[in-house]
Amino acid sequence: MHCATRLRLVLNDMDKVDQKALDKDPDLKGTFIAGGMFQIIVGPGDVDLVFSEMIHTGGVKEVSKDEAKEQAAKSGNPLSRFIKAIADIFVCSIISSPVLAFATDTSTFSASFLMGLCAILYCVGFEVVLGGTPVKKLMGYEVRDSTTGEKLSWVQSLKRQWWRAITIVPGLGSVVSFFAAIFYATSIKQENGLLGAHDKLANAEVVKKQR
């Protein structure tokens, strides 16, 4: 199947793909794995021609969107996203520790504000500037706009990470963040391509680059 700009392929063995060679092809605009599918960014207009050629001469089977998602879901793993989220919380806590230590003599309000600010700088800042937090980048993942394939804007990232950013509000912010985290974690399922409700809110997707 394909969308306006990308080929979306469900492969039996992704290890056979030479992703580095595809990424060097000047006619292509990048490749990545998202939702259990190997996706190739071809570009508007050209993607229709490439897809048609693959169907007629490449022995590729055309399937519906629902069939593709069903097949791709079999290779998805929600646990991997959960592990990355826990690792991000751990790293963010380490980074913010010096700030909290400096603020030991401040009020609870100030400490909560600083903790929330650290969460925003870590999650939103790295997501916008680098395309993902250090944990995600280290594990080979990036967060992108699901339409353009580009890094998220500040507005998009804040939409996606609002439940972390709200911890900047003392007391109530932490409570809201906790329940929002549970809701978003349970919304990440194989049948929806491992996209959480927070991803959809920001028109974002978490993609993997093969090493």
Cα–Cα dist 204/207, whole Å: 10
Max Cα–Cα distance, the chain, nearest Å: 71
Cα–Cα dist 55/79, whole Å: 34
Residue in 3, 92, 118, 123 annotated catalytic: 3
b/e burial code for range 168-192 (CB count within 10 A of at least 16 → b): bbbeebeeebeebeeebeeebebeb
Active site residue 3: yes
Distances (CA, A) of 157 to 65, 97, 108, 182, 199: 27, 24, 27, 19, 9
Cα–Cα dist 122/145, whole Å: 19
Helix/strand/coil for 133: coil
Residues contacting 104, CB < 8 A, separation 6+: none
Which residues are marked as active site? 3
